[in-house]
Amino acid sequence: MTRFLVRRISLIVVTLLVVSTAIFAITEILPGDVAQMVMGQGATEQNLKHIRETLGLDRPAPVRYLDWIGGVVRGDMGDSFVQKIPVTQVIAPRLANSLILAGFAFLVAVPSAVAIGVWMGVRQGSKTDHAVSVGSLVAISLPEFVTGVLLIIVFSSFLGWLPSSSAILPGTSPLTRPLILVLPTLTLTGVLFAYIMRMTRANVIEVLNTQYVRTAVLKGLPMRRVLLRHVVPNAMLPTISVIAVNMGWMLGGLIIVENVFAYPGLGQLLLTAINTRDVPLLQTLALIIAGTYALSNLVADLSYGALDPRIRLT
Amino acid sequence: MATTITSTLETTTARIADADQPLLKVDGLSVTFFTPTGAVHAVRDASFEIKRGEVVGLVGESGCGKSTMAYAIMGYLPGEPEVGGAVYLDGQDMAELGPAELRALRGNRIAMVYQDPALALNPTMKVGLQVLEAISEHLDLDAAQAAERMVELIESVGLPDPERIAESYPHQLSGGQQQRIVIAMALACDPDLLLMDEPTTGLDVTTEATILDLVADLKGRVNAGILYVSHNLGVVARIADRVVVMYAGQTVEEAPVRDLFKDPRHPYTVGLLSCVPKPVADTGAVTRLQSIQGSVFPSAQADPGMCLFSDRCPMATDRCTGEAPHPASVSNSHESRCFYPDKVSTDLWDESVEREAPHENGKEPTLTVKGLHRVYGKWQRKYLFFGPKVKPPVRAVENVDFNVGAGRTVGIVGESGSGKSTVARSIVGLVPRDSGDVELRGEELPAEADNRNADQKGSLRMVFQNPTSSLNPKLPVRHNILRPLQKFTDMSPSEREERACELLESVGLDASYMDRQPLQLSGGQQQRVALAAAFAGDPELIVADEPVSALDVSVQAQVLNLLEDHQREKGTSYVFISHDLGVVRYVSDEILVLYAGHVAESGPAEDVLSTPSHPYTEALLSAAPVPDPDATPTPIRLGGSVPKQHEQFEGCFFASRCPRKLGDVCDNTPPPVQTSPGSPTHEIHCHIPLEELARLQDGSVATPAWSPLP
């Protein structure tokens, strides 16, 4: 176990290093820089040079990168080029908003997907099963910006039940207006639900055909007990890794959903950071996203190890 | 433990309403499945009875409907099959029971033991809980009583330290222990009827013997009827009171066990009996194995109104192909589904063809294996690259030496985990060796197959256990045989085509098989194609790793005879690996007994299998089931399983399980190699002097004490 953790955590550190180098390199290659973005097209060469000097952009790229990494190691993520305040201060409220949205989506999608997946697995081949299968395929195929817009058309424009924009005043929490969370949550849930539901259904079908389930049935156990004690725990094992992968994947969905609904979260911030070449902000956001991916996979492996007695993490 | 179990036993006995009534009566049962490709007649016409306290063996080749019958009795059949006839439990027609009544019966009055205990147990649930479930579902006990009964049950199936075992997960137990748990689960509610579906088929022969002892012990202890399904006649001979033989979904013969083995009255039974090579030292096998030609009447065909065995029967007449026979009484309690039961005799198949003598052992061996070592894995450290070493590598094979002469066969026997397959794979270069030499006619071979040239690869070919997975299912038979011809010979395409047909014919398949897909063939036909492919480059040596283990006995005999014919004709040498002592005895000139990667004993076949033997060989011989109900094997049993060898043994590799262990010397000093005075090539690696071993093994000395588990 120690061995496993040592190996995995060192790998995560390496991954984050590679990600940060890659992001840094890409911002170097892209045309335009933060000075140009801040000053606009009319800026004089003098002005640009001044800004580059104050931000330290006149130094060679490797020096700037090492300088930044040095800061990260000391816990200093740097200042935003554009907003001139520490990156952490820019990110903190946005991170909270995104976590709220992602948390809701997760809480809605996972339990319902697992429950319906088990039910469809047991009722394999029935009309309901076919209907749900087709529905989930549609949900997987539609990108978030389509589902999001469809939901807006139906629930805000047509029915007028829910607000179409989820924008909130800076400094206020989305929890004060829970209604604005409904549509973004539903949009995010769609794909997540479909994936987990299909995975659960497939695993339940597989486990139902195992010999140990036959043993349980021939012990004379009632079907409900066979399902709860023998089928579901075993069917959940592979599903857990799907859930974990989806957690990382959901971050990608967040970026789109937040922009569709004008919701002030990390996704929106990321887009701004890219447009303004705000490298310190961009780097930090990239690290958060990559770190979430890596950690969710680690959590998946650890929970797998905890739930399946056959797995020993070494 | 006894209190609860005996008290429930009394109520069981009280349930018997009518003493004359059989516990189970299967009457004209038929089961037809409907698949997309047509109807499958799994069981056609089966009738038999089981009384209380009786073990009925159900034998037959695969595809004869044995397992389907067991599940039909349980009322558990996939899909919606058409079921004809009837199954009565204590006179109650099972078809009349509703789902809830059936559920109340399952695990309670009828319980089942399965072929593969590793698959039959839920991998993520502690075994104690799985036993407990069966108890609390049917018996009206409070939690504490149920838990107490669970521990008693686990103890009653010969598992020591039941509390600890109950807390284990299935993968933490050995195959034998898992099967004992499944049996404990089946005994949970003192069933009236116990159905055992090939319960020892997946186990090692030593473990099989201990499980069979347990079943024999159960017979005396519980008042249940037991249906024991097996393809292995030796196993059935050991434990059954009566035997039912099935063929193509029909019960063809039924008799008390002695009658069936000594005086069979159906040609199929005789055929089955004459296919089996016997693991006895002195039957020096001078006559060829008999085999039943053809294959089982296909279950996809509807009943043709004739004897289903007639196309394979040496005594079939016009009557047999024109009219269907019905089971008829031959004598008291002996029935046969044959028109001519009186003409059936045990030498029906015995044409007594004498075997050709094997090639003499020449001066120059074809294959020499010297000091072979193979380790799997590396030392693992606590913190990846730092910290103390925590887990050593696994030593699969250590210091194995042997020679194979031209045209000779060396048999390798041992339990799973003994390193047999590693030796085989090292020879052909599938697994690189860590040290030691493999020489082909004095020329050293590179360790890995990739570094060997075409000539070396073509000279050493391998045949695997499971032809279904060793032949490429996407390519026709043609490709499987032409490919080695193309690689290892310089024939022109037309010559290759011609040679491929010859090869197919030499394994008894005609040229029409060239364009078939492997999956369209039966297991025996597939293995013959694999043999033809192995013969293709005229190899000097063929390594056969359990080549007949996946085959039915009649097909097994055909394949063994084919191998022998090829050897006699071409002078090919074989390394023949098998867990079946009878088979190894039949084919081998020399035998190597492996245990935990070490050679325990080696030498000429007849010397290895007669006294004095290494205690491990002795235990293997004692455990091997003999298809003769009168055989009285010495009850030497090994507990546990082959140790996973993480560290080099201080003393003797077999000390932890040896029934004849002397004492500290076995734990501390590696055993010396002893050579019999009469046979200089017969080597025994043991501390016990040979004269002492011979004296102990001649049966005059009391059998050693053994425990089910160390």
Distance CA B182, CA A218 (A): 12
Residue A156: band (very low, low, confident or very high) from pLDDT cuts 50, 70, 90: confident
Average pLDDT over residues A50-54: 78
Helix (H, G, I), strand (E, B) or coil at B322: helix
Average pLDDT over residues A187-201: 87
Mutation target for B interface from A215, A234, A239: give the one with most B CBs within 10 A: A215
Q: Identify the sign of the CA torsion A153, A154, A157, A161.
A: negative
For residue A125, which residues of chain B lie inside 8 Å, CB to CB?
Answer: none
Distance CA B158, CA B400 (A): 35
Q: What is the pLDDT of residue B16?
A: 47
Place of tokens 């049917």: B138
Q: Do A220 and B103 touch (CB under 8 A)?
A: yes
Q: In chain A, what percentage of residues exceed pLDDT 90?
A: 15
Pairing of strands B380-383, B386-391: antiparallel
Pairing of strands B409-413, B590-595: parallel
For residue A234, which residues of chain B lie inside 8 Å, CB to CB?
Answer: 122-124
* CA angle at A90 for the pair A88 and A93, rounded to the nearest 5°: 95
Distance CA B468, CA B478 (A): 16
Q: Are A77 and A71 in contact (CB under 8 A)?
A: yes
**What are the b/e assignments for B51-69, b being 16+ CB within 10 Å?**
ebebbbbbbbbbbbbbbbb
Domain with CATH 3.40.50.300 in chain B: 21-100+227-355, 394-588
**What are the b/e assignments for B511-545, b being 16+ CB within 10 Å?**
eebbeeebeebbbbbbbbbbbbbbbbbebbbbbbb
- Tokens, residue B624: 């091997």
Distance CA B96, CA B91 (A): 12
Local structure of residue B642 (DSSP, 8 states): -
Q: Are A84 and A170 in contact (CB under 8 A)?
A: no
Residue B365 has pLDDT above 60, yes or no: yes
Distance CA B140, CA B108 (A): 12
SS (H, E, C) B537-594: CCCCEEEEECCCCCCCHHHHHHHHHHHHHHHHHHCCEEEEECCCHHHHHHHCCEEEEE
- Tokens, residue B583: 């088979």
| Average predicted confidence (pLDDT) for chain B | 85
Average pLDDT over residues A50-62: 79
Pairing of strands B573-577, B541-545: parallel
For residue A233, which residues of chain B lie inside 8 Å, CB to CB?
Answer: 124-125
CATH: 1.25.40.340, 1.10.760.10, 1.10.3720.10, 2.40.70.10. Which one for A87-307?
1.10.3720.10
Instruction: Give the DSSP H/E element, type plus range, for residue B292.
Output: none
Give yes or no for a cis peptide into B612 (omega within 30° of 0).
yes
How many Cβ pairs within 8 Å bridge chains A and B? 90
Interface of B with A in 54-83 (CB under 8 A): 74, 76
For B394-588, CATH gives 3.40.50.300
Local structure of residue B24 (DSSP, 8 states): E
Query: Where do runs of H (alpha helix) occur along B39-116?
Result: 66-74, 99-105
Q: Which residues pair with B673 in a beta bridge?
A: B685
Min Cα–Cα distance to chain A from B542, Å? 37
Of B177, B195, B175, B178, the residue nearest B186 (C-alpha): B195
Distance CA B685, CA B399 (A): 12
Which residue spans within B51-168 are E strands per DSSP? 55-59, 82-89, 92-93, 110-113
Residue B434 has pLDDT above 90, yes or no: no
Residue B72 has pLDDT above 90, yes or no: yes
Average pLDDT over residues B115-142: 93
* CA angle at B58 for the pair B54 and B64, rounded to the nearest 5°: 160
Q: Which residue of A has its CA nearest to B189?
A: A219
- Cβ neighbour number for residue B421 with a 10 Å cutoff: 22
- Tokens, residue A130: 């076919």
Q: Is B97 on the interface with A (CB under 8 A)?
A: no
Question: What residue type is assigned to position B567 of the chain?
Answer: Q
Q: What is the pLDDT of residue B709?
A: 33
| Average predicted confidence (pLDDT) for chain A | 84
Q: Do A234 and B133 touch (CB under 8 A)?
A: no
Instruction: Give the DSSP H/E element, type plus range, for residue B28.
Output: strand B24-35
Min Cα–Cα distance to chain B from A257, Å? 39
Average pLDDT over residues B109-126: 93
* CA angle at B575 for the pair B678 and B285, rounded to the nearest 5°: 55
Q: Do A233 and B124 touch (CB under 8 A)?
A: yes
Which residue spans within B178-224 are E strands per DSSP? 193-197
Distance CA B89, CA B22 (A): 8
Q: Which residue of A has its CA nearest to B73?
A: A218
Of A6, A7, A212, the CB nearest to B120: A212
Phi-psi region of A263 (alpha: psi -120 to 50; beta: other; left: phi over 0): beta
Considering the domain delimited by B21-100+227-355, tell me its CATH architecture. Answer: 3-Layer(aba) Sandwich (3.40)
Q: Which residue of A has its CA nearest to B72?
A: A218
Min Cα–Cα distance to chain B from A134, Å? 25
Q: Do B124 and A309 touch (CB under 8 A)?
A: yes
Q: What is the pLDDT of residue B697?
A: 82
End-to-end alpha carbon distance in chain A: 6
Classify the complex by whether its ipTM is higher than 0.95, answering yes or no: no
Min Cα–Cα distance to chain A from B185, Å? 8
Of B59, B476, B445, the residue nearest B242 (C-alpha): B59
Q: Do B133 and A221 touch (CB under 8 A)?
A: yes
Min Cα–Cα distance to chain B from A114, Å? 19
Q: Do A211 and B114 touch (CB under 8 A)?
A: yes
Of B111, B116, B185, the CB nearest to A211: B116
B341-344 long-range contacts, CB within 8 A, separation 24+: B341/B265, B341/B266, B342/B265, B343/B315, B344/B264, B344/B265, B344/B266, B344/B267, B344/B270, B344/B315
Q: Do B384 and A314 touch (CB under 8 A)?
A: no
Min Cα–Cα distance to chain A from B77, Å? 11
Q: What is the pLDDT of residue A260?
A: 84
Distance CA B2, CA B12 (A): 15
Residue B701 has pLDDT above 50, yes or no: no
Higher pLDDT, B423 or A307: B423
Q: Do B124 and A216 touch (CB under 8 A)?
A: no
Question: What residue type is assigned to position B233 of the chain?
Answer: L
Q: Do A310 and B74 touch (CB under 8 A)?
A: no
Q: What is the pLDDT of residue B280?
A: 54
Residue B700 has pLDDT above 60, yes or no: no
Of B316, B312, B315, B267, the residue nearest B292 (C-alpha): B312
Q: Is B707 on the interface with A (CB under 8 A)?
A: no
- Cβ neighbour number for residue B433 with a 10 Å cutoff: 24
Q: Do A210 and B114 touch (CB under 8 A)?
A: no
A257 to A182, A260, B166: CA distances (angstroms): 12, 5, 51
Min Cα–Cα distance to chain A from B239, Å? 24
Of A260, A116, A274, A98, the residue nearest A174 (C-alpha): A98
pLDDT tens digits, B6-55:
444 444 444 444 556 899 999 999 999 998 888 899 999 999 999 998 99
> Backbone phi, then psi, for B622, in 5-degree steps?
-65, -35
Q: What is the pLDDT of residue B646?
A: 58
Q: Do B122 and A214 touch (CB under 8 A)?
A: no
Min Cα–Cα distance to chain B from A208, Å? 12
Q: What is the pLDDT of residue B633?
A: 65
Helix (H, G, I), strand (E, B) or coil at B386: strand
Residue B551 has pLDDT above 70, yes or no: yes
Q: Are B226 and B211 in contact (CB under 8 A)?
A: no
Q: Is B381 on the interface with A (CB under 8 A)?
A: yes
Local structure of residue B355 (DSSP, 8 states): P
Q: What is the pLDDT of residue A133?
A: 87
Average pLDDT over residues B86-96: 91
pLDDT tens digits, B366-409:
999 998 988 887 777 777 677 777 777 777 888 899 999 999 99
Residue A105 has pLDDT above 70, yes or no: yes
Question: What residue type is assigned to position A181 of the chain?
Answer: L
For B316, how many CA atoms within 13 A lie in the half-sphere containing its CB? 17
Of B120, B124, B171, the CB nearest to A215: B120
Q: Which residue of A has its CA nearest to B390?
A: A3
3-state helix, strand, coil in chain B (%, to 5): 35, 20, 45
Strongest mean pLDDT among B265-269, B383-387, B620-624 = B265-269
B381 to A3, A5, B121: CA distances (angstroms): 8, 13, 33
Average pLDDT over residues A242-248: 78
CA B155 to chain centre: 27
Q: What is the pLDDT of residue B395?
A: 76
pLDDT tens digits, B140-194:
999 999 999 999 999 988 888 899 999 999 998 888 899 999 999 999 999 999 9
Q: In chain B, what percentage of residues exceed pLDDT 70?
A: 92
Q: What is the pLDDT of residue B391?
A: 74
Distance CA B539, CA A265 (A): 71
Q: Which residue ranges make up each domain of chain A?
A: 87-307
Q: Are A79 and A72 in contact (CB under 8 A)?
A: no
Average pLDDT over residues A84-107: 86
Average pLDDT over residues A105-109: 88
Residue B705 has pLDDT above 50, yes or no: no
Q: Identify the sign of the CA torsion B583, B587, B589, B593.
A: negative
- Tokens, residue B355: 């075997």
Residue B2 has pLDDT above 60, yes or no: no
Q: Are B238 and B212 in contact (CB under 8 A)?
A: yes
pLDDT tens digits, A261-278:
888 888 888 888 888 878
